[in-house]
Amino acid sequence: MKLWFKHGAWCSARARQVAQSLQPEDVRNIAVIRHAAVGDMVITRPFLVELRRLFPNARITLSITTNYQRAVPVDLVDRVHIQYGNDRRDVSLREQIKRVRELGEQDLLFDLAATSRSFWLCLLTGAKLKIGFPYHALQKHIYYDITVPRSDFRVEAENMLDMLNAFGHRHQYPLDFAMHPPGAGRTRPYVLYFPSASSPDKCWPHEDFAQLIGRMSERYPDHEHIVLKGVEEWERIDTIMAALSDRDNVTGISLLDCDGELSDIKGLSLIDDATLLVVNDTGIRNVAIACNTPTVGIFFTTEVFRYWPRGTIHEAVFNADGSIPDVGSVFDAAQGLMEKS
């Protein structure tokens, strides 16, 4: 295999020689390290789909941690290796190292995590080539043979695919998430709203959500407008529903009550069949992107360009100064996508 880069990406002198001696069909064992929550696990799926296309004879092992086991794409890999995470600080160092070594010898090792745990995996796992995207220049010389740049201005799902582009692989576009859930079985079209996120600081104010849903329910009276309640106590939607109590086309549903799931993602079918999802920066938005459901993402704390597939059916509402977007801006974005559907 030829390494198809001159500048930007990096490799050791040895890496080019090893790559030249390998052919894709001869690669038999590949490990992929991914320590991530639901949303980041979902956007790993195109990488695994393309990895299988590039190396058709390889046995693919996905290495995860005990504290991140939701939405693991078990359908796209041959084996799952589970490393002890932050929830298992009681485990001795000896036992942790033993578990790391269970990953076994590999032909190729892809590190999609760049964490202290993934670095230990890289150090203690033998592989012909180790590929990753470190955050600091010194790390590439210690842990990897090949590295690609990781930018906050590039969609992360495509950034991971750069690792395969380095070997001359041409990935499919639009990206293939290989997610085909059954239908939700609802006869009336509907718009979904999820006002929660992984932390309160990422959440658009509930009073703004209430105003938005009120305007949307008036503009689209033939649609049901479904507000999703999160799992944690602080993710309640009581104030939103109280403000909209006079609307007969607004409904509240708990994620725990939704039917259909993929590796413990509740409400997958509901998300897949929605006309539109309006949401904060959260994993459910990534699920919708994977299901090809149009989304309006509301950003004001996290790196918007890293999670916004531009030129698609997905909009991102944000202000250049990082302030909280107003209701009118989100409504305009939602209306724009609704008119295209």
Same structural domain for residues 41 and 78? yes
Domain CATH number, residue 265: 3.40.50.2000
Same structural domain for residues 155 and 195? no
Query: Would you place residue 337 in the very low, low, confident or very high pLDDT band (cuts 50, 70, 90)?
Result: very high
Residue 75 lies in a domain: yes
Same structural domain for residues 336 and 196? yes
Residue 40 lies in a domain: yes
Q: Single out the residue in 116, 148, 165 at which a domain terminates.
A: 165
Q: Which domain holds residue 141?
A: 10-165
* Full-model pTM: 0.90
Residue 238 lies in a domain: yes
- Mind listing the pLDDT tens digit for each residue in 33-87? 999 888 889 999 999 999 999 999 999 999 999 988 888 999 999 999 999 988 8
**pLDDT at residue 52 in the model:** 97
**pLDDT at residue 341 in the model:** 75
Residue 174 lies in a domain: no
**pLDDT at residue 261 in the model:** 44
Same structural domain for residues 202 and 335? yes
- Mind listing the pLDDT tens digit for each residue in 261-288? 444 455 678 888 999 999 999 988 999 9
Same structural domain for residues 146 and 274? no
| Residue 281 CB contacts under 8 Å (≥ 6 apart), including other chains | 197, 202, 297, 298, 299, 301, 302, 304, 307
- Mind listing the pLDDT tens digit for each residue in 292-328? 999 999 999 989 998 888 878 999 999 999 999 999 9
Pick the closest to residue 141 from 128, 132, 153 (CA basis).
132
Burial string for 134-146 (b: 16+ CB within 10 Å, else e) reads beeeebbeebbbb
Query: Would you place residue 185 in the very low, low, confident or very high pLDDT band (cuts 50, 70, 90)?
Result: low
Query: What value does the mean pLDDT of the chain take?
Result: 91
- pLDDT for 28 beyond 80: yes
Mark residue 260 as left, alpha or beta (left: phi above 0; alpha: psi -120 to 50; beta: remaining): left
Compute the average pLDDT of residues 168-179.
Answer: 92
- Mind listing the pLDDT tens digit for each residue in 145-157? 999 998 889 899 9
Q: Single out the residue in 105, 131, 165 at which a domain terminates.
A: 165
Residue 97 lies in a domain: yes
Compute the average pLDDT of residues 184-188.
Answer: 75
Same structural domain for residues 139 and 198? no
Listing DSSP states for 54-89 in one string gives HSTTPEEEEEEETTB-TT--GGG-SEEEEE--GGGT
Residue 1 lies in a domain: no
**pLDDT at residue 262 in the model:** 43
The packing angle between helices 206-219 and 327-340, to 10°, is 40
Same structural domain for residues 219 and 161? no
Q: Single out the residue in 165, 198, 224 at which a domain terminates.
A: 165
- Number of structural domains (the chain) is 2
Residue 133 lies in a domain: yes
Same structural domain for residues 110 and 233? no
Same structural domain for residues 129 and 239? no
**pLDDT at residue 183 in the model:** 66
Same structural domain for residues 240 and 206? yes
Q: Which long-range contacts (CB under 8 A, 24 or more apart) does 260-264 make?
A: 260/181, 260/182, 260/184, 262/71, 262/179, 262/181, 263/70, 263/71, 263/72, 263/73, 263/74, 264/69, 264/70, 264/71
Same structural domain for residues 206 and 334? yes
Query: Would you place residue 259 in the very low, low, confident or very high pLDDT band (cuts 50, 70, 90)?
Result: very low
Residue 178 lies in a domain: no
- Mind listing the pLDDT tens digit for each residue in 92-134? 999 999 999 999 999 999 999 999 899 999 999 999 999 999 8
Same structural domain for residues 137 and 219? no
